[in-house]
Structure 1
Amino acid sequence: MTILWLTRLVLDPRNREVARDLASAVSLHRRIMSLFPDNVGSQARHDLGVLFRVEDGPAGSHLLIQSGHEPDIKRLPDGYGQAWTKPLTPMLDFLSPGLPLRYRIAANPIRKPGKTTRELYGLKPIVPLSGDAARQWWLRQAQQSGLHIHAAHASPLSPVGGQRARGQRIHHARCLFEGTATVADPDLLRRRVAEGIGRGKSYGCGLLSLAPAATLS
């Protein structure tokens, strides 16, 4: 398995560039990708395995970045924040069937109704899910990711978005799923952690965090 890196970046809320990036998922995506080699290609995020999630706490916001290439923190602007990077691979190598875990993921739960259903009910091609429908989406995704869920708590999050080049608007509804599980298929789980889950991976969705049952915080 490719070595994965996990970077925790504690952001300085007084920094103007931090404020700008937090206001736009597109801007934040560009900032994160600037930490990696240039000229990777048109699928740089995918090829470098970059996923991220913003988390808010009593001390302010921090950013989690997972990647298949160690980021160059020196590329951050002065005063942007403090960062620590460690290899994630030892944790993933530790996974085994039946291992109890805590998990957390901010995801974009959706469904794609068929053409007949869309025409009948006037639905869009992609319908964001909420409430129990979102929770059921996560339970299906978890099963398909090698996890056996014991507890699943779902909390709505504010959507992420921004404007890309040529005026294209980005908008992804989000929900935070967290709880407890046991490992059902370690190899499948490792692959899904590396790939990310669901849509919106370029804009802060899909990063699945795992930790031994009492240590995820």
Structure 2
Amino acid sequence: MYLTRFRVNAHRREARHLLASPHRLHGAVNGAFPEPPAADGIGPRILWRVDHNARSDILLFIVSPSRPDLTHLVDQAGWPAATDAEGWQTYDYGDFLGALTTGSTWSFRLTANPVHSIRRKEGEPTKRTAHVTFRHQARWLLQRQEKNGFEILTKPAGRRLHIEGDEHQMIVRDHRPLQFPKASRDKQLNVSITKVTYDGRLRVTDPDLLRRTLTNGLGKAKAYGCGLMTLAPIG
């Protein structure tokens, strides 16, 4: 497994064109691999995420079973004339994943598509609907802790700002409803998703399950930049 970081040159028109559509960026990411793995949910897949840290500090992260070649992204959305580096950094992710141990604690970031299925009236098929409030978005992730191999750390009682809803070391931010076109054979579809970013601290409860989460993703809309969780040491 590999973890790749690519800095996007937001001053370029081509870069802004890619960032405006998760469908176009999905195609650009897949173009980095001669043979992308099947997205069947069985084995590791290609996951990606865009972090908007500041107006001119935009990073694309990719987790993948094979090493990518992002030359085309450098030409479109990077700094192709720079000669002191290839334009992206790829790291061997396997050693890090293999070293995860039960009880270790980490900072995490996850961009996800928190949804639930509802039925408006009896007899109707269920419809996938986005969670739109902080409380429900936070609950969506909390409900998925155990089966994904981690638990989000709780705050000491004296650091909680509210009686309910502020028990965990986690913030939910950057709520982004997105709508973009997607060509599908003989017609064009409009895709609607909601992206939410979670930042917080977690404890590993099952290293094998967490390794699967980090390489297979969490939640829906993985093709469109959702589902990638990354860990960092708690500083």
- Give the helix-richer structure, 1 or 2: 1
Q: What is the 5 A alignment of 1:82-121?
A: 82-113=87-118, 117-119=119-121
Distance 1:154 1:174 in 2: 11
Match of 2:160 in 1: none
Tell me, yes or no, if structure 1 residue 144 matches structure 2 residue 162: no
Q: Which has the larger radius of gyration?
A: 2
Contact 2:48 2:61 in 1 (8 A): yes
Unpaired runs of 5+ residues, structure 1, are none
TM-score by length of 1: 0.86
Q: What is the 5 A alignment of 1:65-80?
A: 65-76=62-73, 78=75, 80=77
What's the secondary structure of 1:157's corresponding residue? Answer: strand
Contact 1:45 1:202 in 2 (8 A): no
Count of residues paired in the alignment: 206
After TM superposition, where is structure 1 displaced by more than 6 Å over at least 4 residues in a row? 44-48
Contact 1:21 1:28 in 2 (8 A): yes
- TM-superposed CA distance for 1:17, in Å, is 1.7
Distance 2:74 2:101 in 1: 40
- TM-superposed CA distance for 1:161, in Å, is 3.8
TM-score by length of 2: 0.80
Tell me, yes or no, if structure 1 residue 132 matches structure 2 residue 132: no
Contact 1:12 1:79 in 2 (8 A): no
Q: 2:51 aligns with which of 52, 55, 61?
A: 55
Per-residue displacement from partner, 1:169-210 (whole Å, max 9, x unpaired)?
A: 111111111111110000010011111000010001000111
- TM-superposed CA distance for 1:142, in Å, is 2.2
Match of 1:159 in 2: 177
Q: 1:197 aligns with which of 206, 212, 218?
A: 218
- TM-superposed CA distance for 1:47, in Å, is 6.5
User: Would the alpha carbon gap of residues 79 and 201 (structure 1) be closer, same or farther in structure 2, given more than 3 Å must change?
Assistant: closer
Q: Which amino acid aligns with 1:134?
A: Q
Match of 2:199 in 1: 178
Q: 1:25 aligns with which of 22, 26, 30?
A: 22
Per-residue displacement from partner, 1:106-165 (whole Å, max 9, x unpaired)?
A: 11111112xxx4216x99701211211110110112222110111221114213342111
Across the aligned residues of Structure 1 and Structure 2, the Cα RMSD in angstroms comes to 2.3
Per-residue displacement from partner, 1:65-108 (whole Å, max 9, x unpaired)?
A: 11111101223352622211111112111110100111110111
Contact 1:160 1:203 in 2 (8 A): no
